[in-house]
Amino acid sequence: MSTTAFNAFEMAQAQFDKAADILDLDSGTRDLLRNPLREFHFSIPVRMDDGSVQVFRGFRVQYNDARGPCKGGIRFHPAETIDTVRALAMWMTWKTAVVDIPLGGSKGGVICDPHNLSQRELELIARGWIRQVAKNVGPITDVPAPDVMTSPQIMLWMLDEYETIAGAKYPGLITGKPVGMGGSLGRTEATGYGLIYTVREALQELDIRLDDTTASVQGFGNVAQYAIQLYNQMGGTVVSVSYWDQKDNTSYVVRRTEGIDVKQLLGITDRFGGIADDKAKELGYEILPGDAWIEQEVDILLPCALENQISGETVEKIHSKVKIIGEGANGPTTPDADKVIQDRGIYLVPDFLANAGGVTCSYFEQVQNSMNYYWQKDEVLGKLDIKMTSAFRAVSELAKKRKLYMRDAAFVIGVNRVAMACRDRGWV
């Protein structure tokens, strides 16, 4: 699907404007919260394996830090834009506020394609990125984390470069690190598990037994894999999952009506979430076009890939059986699609609530770094469940009380908390 006309930041601002109207925010607060506090654009020169020098464009947007140090991932993606980074930083600001953790929102990115880079080249980009922002990030300033096509290894290279510059150990600089090197147990599972915790709560509200439900998932990266794993453990059945095939730069869907087997698919998956379709066919899976994930006759849709996937055009393909959409991705649904979803009475768990498990567990990682004491996985995931469930119920109660769409209710809570912090500080 073409995204040439899509601007994620304009969409994020439109969502904010709606919440600001509901809250009746004054003009000064609106102007402050509608745009980033600060942003950085920079060049990262890298000597490639063939001896040539290639210059990569990098970004860091620190959207708002009224509630605490900025927090947000770093994406390595060939289609990265500053407006996408701005939007994601804005959503992260509301996300940390909705789950009520003492952090602000930020995001970073590099325009590059990791599929076509060696490990050495990736390392040089990672170290180059941190060198450019070393004076403007830190454990009590702005804490990066992994995101699309970045990994614990990339985080560790960045941490090592920062500590080399600073001449001291700062494990809390960055989260999503490998376990044993300051990383938290449970962090790998956190976003996917958090998504399913909120879907479980939504099903309870609708009085639907989870083990009677089926789901279709877009994406087969970290979030999707662990969401499917937990959903299956709870008794649900995922019948289809989409993936990206780097050979022909196209997405496809694997479907098996009796349910997909995550371990089986992981055995034929590359490091970027691409599934070997010939082997999938041998295992009894159908291969369908990439947009078929949204058309499946299921109870639950879980978009866990990129933004702008449920649009005014694609929303019409959603099957009449669908009762819940849980947004594992950031910004997967456009405002015009939201109108259709709301009119159809589909229960939507919005992205910055549904996928807040990642940043919540990143916060837990920072806490453990500060204490230099690390929790067991069950303790981490137990705390995550409590946080996600509490946040879900607060949003759900406001939605019912004020007769709001779930996304609007989540925005109202998040924006209001950030606005109050700005007022309390005397910024507005």
Residue for token pair 């299956």:
232
Number of CB atoms found within 10 A of residue 159's CB: 23
Q: Give the whole-angstrom CA distance, residue 378 versus residue 382.
A: 6
Residue for token pair 């904010």:
16
User: Smallest Cα–Cα separation from 110: which of 166, 163, 45, 170?
Assistant: 45
Q: Any idea which residues carry the catalytic annotation?
A: 107
Q: How many CA atoms, within 13 angstroms, populate the side-chain half-sphere of residue 426?
A: 0
Helix axes 187-205, 357-371, angle to 10 degrees: 130
Q: Give the whole-angstrom CA distance, residue 143 versus residue 171.
A: 10
Q: Which residues are within 8 A (CB) of 310 and not within 5 positions of it... i.e. 6 or more apart?
A: 294, 301, 303, 318, 325, 332, 333, 334, 337, 341
Token pair belonging to 411: 């925005």
Q: Give the whole-angstrom CA distance, residue 290 versus residue 219.
A: 10
Q: How many helices (H) and strands (E) does the chain have?
A: 14, 12
